[in-house]
Structure 1
Amino acid sequence: MKWFDTVRKRMNARETIEAYYAALRAGEPLGPFFAPDTDRSVVKFGISEQLVGTDAIREGLRAQTETTRDWTVDSSALRVTERDGYAWFSDDVTLCWTDAEGKVRHEYDTRWSGALEATGGAREWQFVGMHVSTGDSIDG
């Protein structure tokens, strides 16, 4: 089952985060998980980049999907709170991937946090902010 098959059922914030992880593992599009910028400033901080605005986030994630493969996303401490159309989360995630040429395998212990909003669109919950960081060196 692809993550977008789950759009047919109404997901809560936790299920949306878990579907994002599944889509990342499967190399599927991640952009639709992020809310449009209509009346908010959407931001995503990755291990080595900052993307501001939905268009920049979707382009960055598209490029990431094209240049990486064999993702491992192992969540070990997902905590989610939902209140009145908003949710926030934190997690500890072992994150691994291989570059598209298959030459370099990257492995990091990462910390995730972020916020979601119930947008009422095709995807009930969408990210309005995400932050992924690591205490590991990213130089190689």
Structure 2
Amino acid sequence: MTPEETVRAYYDALRAGEALAPFFVESPATVKVGISERLVGYAEIANALREQTRTTEDWSVQSHDLQVVERDGAAAVADAVSLSWYDAEAFAERSFETRWSGTLLPGEDGWAFAGMHVSVGTDLDSGIDR
């Protein structure tokens, strides 16, 4: 599987409510920054993703601009993603326009995230990189 296929498979797994931890490098140095958390280390990421899967459902994940660059045995990814889901604990729909970036590394089982960052823009965002 290519890095792009890995990212798309991650989106599919999120939609389907499948396990997400296998998409991350099993290392204490792996980092996942989400909309409302910063997780460091594979164990912390795996625990948080299991809890997320347990407490959410009906994910919609719409990729708008996936970019992938492979170089020197690694891959960098960036995307603009519309996310929505149902928060089963709060009984509420959640929806965000998000920005994703990350680094993938190859391993025995294919590519995996060594770092992932998901953020939400602000009203001050003009769409111009500074």
| TM-score after normalising by structure 1 | 0.84
RMSD between superposed Cα atoms in Å: 1.5
1:69 equivalenced with 2:57 (yes/no): yes
Counterpart check, 1:128 vs 2:114: yes
Q: Give structure 1 stretches of 5+ with no counterpart.
A: 1-10
What is the CA deviation profile of residues 41-71 of structure 1, one whole-angstrom value per residue up to 9, with x for unaligned ones?
1000000000000000010000000000000
1:89 and 1:23 map into 2 onto residues whose CA distance is 18
Q: Which amino acid aligns with 1:99?
A: D
In the alignment, which residue of structure 2 is the partner of 1:22? 12
Partner AA of 1:125 in structure 2: W
- Shift in Å at residue 84 of structure 1? 2.8
Residue of structure 1 equivalent to 2:22? 32
Tell me how far 1:101 sits from its aligned partner: 4.7
Contact persistence 1:108–1:136 (CA under 8 A): no
Q: What letter is aligned with 1:29?
A: A
Letter in 1 for 2:94: H
Task: Tell me how many residue pairs correspond in the alignment.
Answer: 123
**1:133 aligned partner, one-letter code:** S
The one-letter code of the counterpart of 1:115 is: T
Matches within 5 A, 1:91-106: 91-101=79-89, 103-106=91-94
How big is the shift at 1:134?
Answer: 0.2
Please give the secondary structure, in 2, of the residue aligned with 1:58. Answer: helix
1:49-60 mapped onto 2 (5 Å cutoff) = 49-60=37-48
Higher strand share: 2
Under a length normalisation based on structure 2, what TM-score does the superposition of the two structures give?
0.90
